[in-house]
Each structure stands twice: as structure tokens, then as C-alpha cells.
A and B are shown apart, each in its own frame.
Chain A
Amino acid sequence: MCDTCGCNITPGNRHLVISGRLSTTDNGQSAVKVLQGLLHENDRQAAHNRAHFDSRGVLCINLMSSPGAGKTALLEATLQALGDELRIAVIEGDLETENDAERIRRHGVPAVQITTGTACHLDAHMVHDALHQLDLSGLDLVFIENVGNLVCPASFDLGHHRNVTLLSVTEGDDKPAKYPVMFRAADLMLLTKTDLLPVLDDFDCDAAETALRNLANPAPVIRVSSKNGAGMDAWLDWLRDEIRTQRDRLEEGRSARPAVQPDGARLHAHAHHQHTE
């Protein structure tokens, strides 16, 4: 992850870095090698957001899933269980309506709703704007409930620390194989709505886990029902552990990015400008 020892050179970009082929200088034209992540601006804003969370000692978790996989219900059950133990706030992302933020506020928890209009994902700038409406002091944990979508949200770093991807058992157990970018990015996979398993004969939790492993993702898998509370303890323990880990990291002056951010992360969003004239 540095620009000095060459560890950011991958087989995908080695020839560019080493051969320096770009002297296609026609009359009045020059080629410039850039080698910069396509979401450079977003990544810069994300780093700023993360520094903001870190300076207040807050852990930020990004929840992603299809629409209707139970993100808001999971948050409600989590707030109910942890309300007295942790100070939590929620940033809600939807195309329209304030409905989810209102559901969260009923639990006495501050919630900021981002309505994206037509945008299918949150980006770091939207989260930054939301943070202006949120007092982080004294908080332990901020959840970002991303727009329900298994494609686009995976590509945007928001400045959070961990990705939690939900897969509800009313979907197919092969979702990780169908949406590899999303499930590669998961630091934790939650199989939700497990109270419905007895009436579903076509969702195999083990198969879902195998599909995740086939993406070389070692993330833990927790089976959970927000409705009957099964598996909630394991989920809450994971959260407590992540909060502890975040505090330990901050004491050592370190931060954490989500496991995988599909981007030129290895290039550290650093521009290598080279004139070829």
C-alpha cells in the first residue's frame, strides 16, 4: 500500500509502471500516465469521513442488501437490544421517503435520512452531508443503511469501517455467486429472516455459506431472525467485539477500512503523473 517499495504494483498494472509506454507524442499532443482509482474523489471524501468517525471514537458499519432483506428490521431489533448499552445513531439511505428514519427515531435514536432521488447507492459525499446533521460526540456506533441494491453500493467507500451484507432466506442461496462484487466486500454475512426457514424448502444456509467461501471470503456467517430473536446474541457479540477492536485500534493510532473495496486500493489513490513530451 505504499508508493516506494513497489508493493502496490500488481500484475494488472506492472507493465504500466515498469515499461513506461506512453510516449505517443503526436504533434501538439502528450500522453499522461495517471494510474488513479476511478473513484479518487469519492475515496478522498471517504478517508475524510473515516477520520471524522475515528476522531470521535465511533465505529461505523455499512449495511447492504437487496431491498426488503430486513435491514431496517435488524436495526430496530438491534437498537432494542443495545439501547441501554451503547449510544447509536443511524444514517438511512433510500431513493425516496423519510419512512425508515422515522422507524428508527421511534426507538429514541437519532437518524438522518438521505434521499438519493434516482441514485442507486450512497457515496462518500452524501454521507458527509448527513454527518453535518449528526452530532457524533458521545456516540459508540453509527450504522449506515445503504440503498437496497446488491450491485452499486459495493463500489463506493463511504468512510465506514466494516461492511455487513444481509442475505434473507426468501432470496436464493446462490446470491453470493450472482453478485460476487457485493459479497466479496462483506466483513460479515447475515442470513436474515431465519424464522421463515421452516416454510421454505429451497434455501440451504450451508449452500449460501459455501457460495461465500467460493469468493475466497473468510467472513463469519451468522443466521439471525429479527422477529424471534434467534441468532441475535451472536450478531450483538460481533458488534461489541468490533467496537472493542475499533477502540484498541484508535489507541494505537490506526484505523480500518472494510475488507475489500473494489478499487485501485493497492495504488492508494495516488496519482503518478509523468510527462512524456
Chain B
Amino acid sequence: MHELAVCQSVIRQAEAVAREHGARGITRIRLRIGVLSGVEPELLARAFPLAQAGTLAEGASLEMESLPVRVVCNRCEAESEVPANRLLCGVCGDWQTRVISGEEMLLESLELVTAEEGEHV
């Protein structure tokens, strides 16, 4: 669905960071995707080759870490890991909880080619 748009955004951001660091290429892109982020890692992985073609990230590998949903209960203050569509406190069952993890959709880090190796070409 919207994963190609997300991928294109990732590539543009990665390219901007690479340029900022004077890098000649990007070899690895690491993302952190929360289960409640609205993005499917599998679909991102499928869209990635299309988005990276012809960019500084061409040939870069994509690594994604999926983050489970964790909530803190407003009532009993317990922290629990919960399914994405049932954010009730795992201890007391109250629905008034805060999501503290699982909504992330982050560009975590990049590996860049920055050195002069290859300059002999």
C-alpha cells in the first residue's frame, strides 16, 4: 500500500545524511518498525529495491527490527507487552494505558562509504 512512499522517503533521508557526511554511497540502512506503526516490514522490504535503484543507496542492504507494543497502565502503573489491537493493561485489565513502545517508525542508522578507497579507479 503506502510502503513504497515510505521507502522513497527513507531513501531521500538517507541520501541527505550521506551527502551531509560527504559519503559516496550507502551500504546499509537500519530501520526500527513498531508493530503499531502502520508499516509492514515485509512490504517495505519488497518496495525497497524499487526505491533504491539509481540512488546513492543502490545495492544497500535493508535491515529492520520489529518492536512489540508495550503499554504502561495509568491505574496500576504496570508495564506489559500487548497485542496491537488490545492495548489493555496485562496486569489489571484496565483500558486506560499509554503506549510506550511499538509506534516507532525510525531510520536508526546508516553505513556509508566515506573513505578514499576506490579512488584509484
CA distance A144 to B23 in the complex (A): 40
Q: Do A34 and B107 touch across chains, with their CB atoms under 8 A apart?
A: yes
Report the contact-size class of chain B (Cβ under 8 Å from the partner): 35 or more
Which of B88-114 touch A at CB < 8 Å? 88, 95-114
User: Is the beta-carbon distance between A12 and B95 smaller than 8 angstroms?
Assistant: no
Q: How far is the CA of A176 from the CA of B97 in the complex (A)?
A: 17
Contact partner, B104, options A12, A29, A273, Cβ 8 Å: A12
The CA of A27 and the CA of B115, in the complex, are separated in Å by: 8
How far, in whole Å, are A151 and B85 apart by their CA atoms in the complex? 14
Of all chain B residues, which has the CB nearest A149?
A: B1
Cβ-defined contact, B86 with A275, below 8 A: no
B61 within 8 A of A: no
Which A residues between 18 and 32 are near B, CB-CB below 8 angstroms?
22, 24, 27-32
Candidates A36, A152, A184, A214; contact of B95 at CB < 8 Å = A214
Interface size of A as a range: 35 or more
By secondary structure, the B interface counts as mixed
A121 contacts the other chain (CB 8 A): yes
B2 touches A40 (CB 8 A): no
User: Once the chains bind, are A181 and B9 in contact (CB under 8 Å)?
Assistant: no
Task: Report which residue of A32, A149, A265, A271 has the largest number of chain B beta carbons within 10 angstroms of its beta carbon.
Answer: A32
A contact residues around B103 at 8 Å (CB):
260, 262-263, 265
Contact with B along A190-222 (1 / 0, CB 8 A): 000000000000000000000001111010000
Q: Can you list, as one digit per residue, whether each of B1-38 has a CB less than 8 Å from chain A (1) or not (0)? A: 11001100110111001001101000110011010111
B interface residues with partner A (beta carbon < 8 Å): 1-2, 5-6, 9-10, 12-14, 17, 20-21, 23, 27-28, 31-32, 34, 36-39, 67, 70-71, 84-88, 95-118
Apart from A12-B101, A264-B105, list 16 A-B contacts with CB within 8 A.
Answer: A12-B102, A27-B115, A28-B115, A29-B115, A30-B21, A31-B111, A32-B17, A37-B105, A42-B9, A123-B5, A151-B38, A155-B37, A156-B2, A263-B103, A264-B104, A275-B21
Name A's B-contacting residues (CB within 8 A): 10-13, 16, 22, 24, 27-42, 119-121, 123, 149, 151-152, 154-156, 176-178, 180-182, 184, 213-216, 218, 260, 262-265, 267, 271, 273, 275, 277
